[in-house]
Structure 1
Amino acid sequence: MKFELTRRRFLIGSSVAATGLLTGCDALVENASVNDILQKAEALTMGSQRLLQAHEPLAREFTEADLSPTFKANGTQMPDSEDYARLMEGSFADWRLVVNGMVRTPLSLSLADLKAMPSRTQITRHDCVEGWSAIGKWTGVPLGLVLQKAGLAPGARYAVFYCADEYEKSLDGSGQYYESIDLVDAYHPQTILSYSMNGKDLEVAHGAPLRLRVERQLGYKHAKYLMRIELVDSFKGVWGGKGGFWEDRGYEWYAGI
């Protein structure tokens, strides 16, 4: 989940160039009018993609013959967390996924609980912001089923995913990685909470014991080491208020591909 912040300059440069306003990228980031342009461009991208998805709702799926011989581990490969280390030593027997916030029935689900729920297996391509892609086979419970079990309270709009990853304590003092998606993506049939990759339980480097797969978006949205899902009506008061660890630092919230 850790990426170089050069993507921030790339996104700003490419978006602003389209408006004929390309100058010094760092200066533009501080310009309120330019930030407004970028936000509108992101909204247009999301709207356009959602329109296309209405006609082709699923990301492309592949066969086992297409599986990549090597699947790089994106970002952090071992959370910097004492709690996570303890859970890993116990083979995640004491791990629980908490689902709370704007829900009718808060949940605390073990890995066994999740594996007992109906599952989905899909072979899809992971596209990393760093420029590489790989095809993997993922099995997990559809996120929509977990949300159905919790029952959404009126006004809930986003699912926020909190992770065990605490590797960036120096950036803002929080030390916690998080991501979010809206309910359109949350209920998409290919959005799953994956506990298996290529027929085996997730390895630590790939997000054990549970990671998000949201196949219509870039890899940094596929949060690893999941600990809690919070349903909210806005990002106000959620860390930097932009909906994700890297989004708080300049990345796009909607990373559609």
Structure 2
Amino acid sequence: MRTDPERRSFLRRAGALAGTLALGGCDRLSEAPWFRQVLDSAESATLRAQRFLLGSGPLAREYTEADLSPVFKANGSTSVDDFDYQTLAEKGFAGWRLQVDGLVERPQQLSLADLRTMPSRTQITRHDCVEGWSCIGKWTGVPLAHVLEQAGVQHQARYVVFHCADTLEPTLDGTGQYYESLGFEDAYHPQTILAYEMNGQPLPIPHGAPLRLRVERQLGYKMAKYVMRIELVENFAGIGRGRGGYWEDRGYEWYAGI
């Protein structure tokens, strides 16, 4: 089932407005109990509405190579100011390892070569940014579901948290490390992949090399770049400010469905 374009546009504008209000009011506003209740109420309504309309299984629309955008804008960070990451990049990420831990039976340390031996999926999809722009790109990677199944998720786990190499503007508490999270309904969706290629080439650094998340039924800020670690948790209250992501800690919705 395809999502109506006008509805998608409305949701992007609404998300941008909510984020602008939260950020414009500074951290004190975004932490005010009454303001958080308003945002949480709106987010719950959006989640329930999308689940009712689309369910959990349908795919986001996929396109053809003729539809690829000639220029695909890089969202968020376009480089990583971290010595260890830069050293890995200089060596083509040969020494990079994806750590998978937390509430799993078999913690993993996976190289790019390991990931490339796993089942892969290629999809041509539209990336919708909360700022209002969209681009179509071709992504290849391993389904997140396969990585989770290989690690063996423990029964008490409820969320998948992605810890990234990039650091954005610090918050009042001095932290700015990017992170993001998903519930299992989206984590196990067939179009949710850990992408290592873009448009048939190794993932470029501005787009999140060596590995980025693609979760095609949500807005772009959910698609974490420079993924270094995947952690399975029961809740994310103790991570960042406890809202489930870098931008969520600053007032954006945790569920960014389109």
TM-score by length of 2: 0.88
Shift, 1:176, TM fit: 1.1
Shift, 1:32, TM fit: 2.5
Cα distance in 2 for residues equivalent to 1:72 and 1:37: 32
Instruction: Output aligned runs, 1:52-201, within 5 Å.
Output: 52-54=53-55, 57-169=58-170, 172-201=173-202
TM-score by length of 1: 0.88
Cα distance in 1 for residues equivalent to 2:111 and 2:19: 41
Per the alignment, residue 240 of structure 2 pairs with: 239
Shift, 1:46, TM fit: 0.7
User: Which residue type is aligned with residue 63 of structure 2?
Assistant: F
Note if contact 1:207-1:224 (Cα within 8 Å) is conserved in structure 2: yes
> 1 or 2 for the larger relative contact order (CA 8 Å, sep ≥6)?
2
SS at match of 1:205: helix
Q: Percent identity?
A: 62
Per the alignment, residue 4 of structure 1 pairs with: none
Note the alpha carbon deviations across 1:189-231, whole angstroms, 9 max, x for none. Answer: 0000000000000010111100000001110100000000000
Cα distance in 2 for residues equivalent to 1:66 and 1:104: 42
Note if contact 1:12-1:29 (Cα within 8 Å) is conserved in structure 2: no
Cα distance in 2 for residues equivalent to 1:13 and 1:163: 24
User: Which residue type is aligned with residue 133 of structure 2?
Assistant: W
User: Which residue type is aligned with residue 11 of structure 1?
Assistant: A
User: Which residue type is aligned with residue 242 of structure 2?
Assistant: G
Cα distance in 2 for residues equivalent to 1:88 and 1:13: 34
Instruction: Output aligned runs, 1:11-50, within 5 Å.
Output: 11=18, 29=30, 31-50=32-51
Which segment is superposed worse, 161-170 or 27-36? 27-36
Cα distance in 2 for residues equivalent to 1:101 and 1:229: 8
Cα distance in 2 for residues equivalent to 1:118 and 1:34: 44
User: Which residue type is aligned with residue 200 of structure 1?
Assistant: Q
User: Which residue type is aligned with residue 136 of structure 2?
Assistant: I
Cα distance in 2 for residues equivalent to 1:13 and 1:111: 37
Note if contact 1:9-1:25 (Cα within 8 Å) is conserved in structure 2: no
SS at match of 1:122: strand
Note if contact 1:166-1:176 (Cα within 8 Å) is conserved in structure 2: yes
User: RMSD between aligned alpha carbons?
Assistant: 2.4
Aligned CA distance change for structure 1 residues 142 and 12 (closer, same or farther; 3 Å): closer
Note the alpha carbon deviations across 1:63-96, whole angstroms, 9 max, x for none. Answer: 1110001101111111111110010011000000
Cα distance in 2 for residues equivalent to 1:55 and 1:192: 16
Per the alignment, residue 21 of structure 1 pairs with: none
Structure 2: stretches of 5+ with no match in the other structure: 1-13
Shift, 1:131, TM fit: 1.4
Shift, 1:12, TM fit: 6.7
